[in-house]
Amino acid sequence: MRISLLAIALLVFNLSVRCQDYKGPIIDMHVHAYNEGNPFFMMKEHPKTLRGETYLGASSAEELKQETLAIFKKYNVVKAVVSDGVFWDDGTFGDILLYGRRNMSVDSLRNAHARQKFDVLGELAPFYSGKVASDSSLKPLFNIAEELGTPAGVHIFPGGPNWILNRFPGMFPLMRAKNADPKQLQEVLIAHPKMKLYIMHGGWPYVDDVKALMYMHAQLYVDVAVLNWILPKEEFYSYLKELITAGFGDKIMFGSDQMIWPQLIGEGIKTINEAPFLSMEQKADIFYNNAARFLELSEEEIEADKKKINP
């Protein structure tokens, strides 16, 4: 069978487009700030991930802040949801900083929201304490998020980098893999239909459950933090492609889960850019458009973000 030159040219064109890197604005939905003396800074070197790579981290809170800001500028990260972002609240990050607030009382959250210091309820991580998201202790937090129109981000699984779990098996004595199933979010979503919620770390490896929940609940999104740098690419791409193929490409958001290794932001971005099945439009959705819609950014904010990017 002969293939026409036009067909070959179209195939080459499509492949070249899919191999191009996205250069537009990026929103990182999953970043961490720490104060000085946090024990994380003692883990300078990140041992091999499941992908077989190692990374060197920051040694201090100030170094972490400056290196993260430099990475943001390099990759056009124009906004980031930062858990404990109060540690970076010195004007350095400008309007890049979105506040992820957790471990606060309802009254404190309400006051923080009034001061525009509360953008996302997260990172909520009942998983570490042996609880699931539907535990009654979290209900007041979801209530205030729904009341204030603030989205929530819930950590389910993975439970941090696997090397931490293997090296320090007693660090999270109440954590159980059986509590990782994203179906635990169904009652939360039903009880709070006006609250937008995203699964941090994408709900891996429970892809069928994630698809079922997304099918039923329009307000549910995922970020792909950690998955996009710790898993072998084949595994991550398999998971991501299933969600895309199922029609949920408009609910997937970029995240890095940057802890003390700012270079992981770039690694996560590179992994998305190199996905052979993603079109440029799909990359733009994952990197920016889906998060902008989830966060309900105004047209003015979106236009301002587009003007921030490096040429």
What pLDDT score does 9 carry?
44
Count of Cβ atoms closer than 10 Å to residue 164 Cβ: 17
What pLDDT score does 164 carry?
62
Q: Tell me the mean pLDDT in the region 117-126.
A: 93
Q: Specify which residues 31 forms β-bridges with.
A: 82, 258
pLDDT, tens only, 130-177: 899 999 999 999 999 999 999 999 998 876 656 566 665 666 788 888
pLDDT band at 3 (very low <50, low <70, confident <90, very high): low
Q: Is residue 56 over pLDDT 60? A: yes
pTM of the complete model: 0.91
Task: Please give the full DSSP string across the chain, using - where no structure is assigned.
Answer: -PPPHHHHHHHHHHHHHHHSPP-S-EEEEEEE---TT-GGGG--EE---TTS--EE--SSHHHHHHHHHHHHHHHTEEEEEEETGGGGTTTTSGGGEEEEE-S--HHHHHHHHHTT--SEEEEE-GGGGT--TTSGGGHHHHHHHHHHT--EEEE-SS-S-HHHHHH-TTSSTT--GGG--GGGGHHHHHH-TT--EEEETTTTT-HHHHHHHHHH-TTEEEE-TTHHHHS-HHHHHHHHHHHHHTT-GGGEE----BSS-THHHHHHHHHHHT-TT--HHHHHIIIIIHHHHHTT--HHHHHHHHHHS--
Q: Give the homologous superfamily in CATH for domain 5-308.
A: Metal-dependent hydrolases (3.20.20.140)
pLDDT, tens only, 139-150: 999 999 999 999
Residue ranges covered by each domain of the chain: 5-308
Residues 189, 195, 196, 197: is their CA dihedral positive or negative? negative
